[in-house]
Amino acid sequence: MADSIVTIEKVSLKYKKTVLTDVTITAEKGDVIGLLGLNGSGKSTLLSAIAGLRRTSSGTIKVLGKAGFVTQENALIDELTAMDNLKMWTPLSKAEILKELTDTELSILKVNDFIDLKVRRMSGGMKKRLAIASVLLSKPDILLMDEPLAALDIPAKNDIIKFIDSFRAKGGTVFIASHSEELFKHCSKIYLLKNGAATLLPAGISPAEALG
């Protein structure tokens, strides 16, 4: 399709062993693609391949635009403040960063509320908000998120979901690896990764039902 921004065609991936075989997924601008599967099913491996961090064994992945990857571990330095972490990801000045955090969809993440706090003193929700903000400062067209709601409290989950909806509404494309039923409600398409295959879930089938 003309609007396709990510095309995954007949891709096979190995990580110690073959994880995924002959996977085909297409995403357009504004799509939120959910990747559902048990641990070890290849969700994180597929996100890494889309980000260009892992080679495919076969097949092709075409990405039109810039991709930003929010990993499950959060690429943050514990002894630095939120601001100092953000400055590592962008040539913007402190004033310009604060403007981005205030005047764009990043305001949803409320990073300004703890901008001078060191990462080691942050809650899990604060770290995840900061990790997302650090990636978004580079203005990606595609956002890759690995378990973005894992171990977060309800306010943090709600803000991150609200942010994803806002990013999507502005034409951004999102790939999410998750186990969250609530988050999957905001996906335009959900793929079940199981036994090496990626299957598009039909309408009316819940993630819980798909996992069995």
pLDDT at 70: 97
Domain architecture of the chain: domains with CATH: 4-201 (3.40.50.300)
Whole-model pTM: value is 0.94
> What is the tens place of the pLDDT at every residue in 114-153?
999 999 999 999 999 999 999 999 999 999 999 999 989 9
For the chain, percent of residues with pLDDT exceeding 90? 85
Write out pLDDT tens, residues 57-74.
999 999 999 999 999 998
pLDDT for residue 2: 52
Instruction: Name the burial class of residue 93, with classes exposed (0-12), middle (13-18) and buried (19+) by CB atoms within 10 angstroms of its CB.
Output: exposed
Residue ranges of the chain with per-residue pLDDT less than 50: 1
pLDDT of amino acid 100: 96
What pLDDT was estimated at residue 1? Answer: 46
Cβ contacts of 74 within 8 Å, gap of 6 or more: 127, 128, 130, 131
Q: What is the pLDDT of residue 207?
A: 82
SS3 labels along the chain = CCCEEEEEEEEEEEECEEEEEEEEEEEECCCEEEEECCCCCCHHHHHHHHCCCCCCCEEEEEECCCEEEECCCCCCCCCCEHHHHHHCCCCCCHHHHHHHHHHCHHHHHCHHHHCCCEHHHCCHHHHHHHHHHHHHCCCCCEEEEECCCCCCCHHHHHHHHHHHHHHHHCCCEEEEECCCHHHHCCCCEEEEEECCEEEECCCCCCHHHHHC
- What are 212's two structure tokens? 């069995």
Q: How far apart are alpha carbons 123 and 62 in whole angstroms?
A: 36
In whole numbers, what is the pLDDT of the chain averaged over residues? 94
Buried b (16+ CB within 10 A) or exposed e, 182-205: ebbebbeebbbbbebebeebeeee
Long-range contact pairs involving 98-103 (C-beta distance under 8 Å, separation at least 24): 100/137, 101/133
pLDDT value of position 17: 79
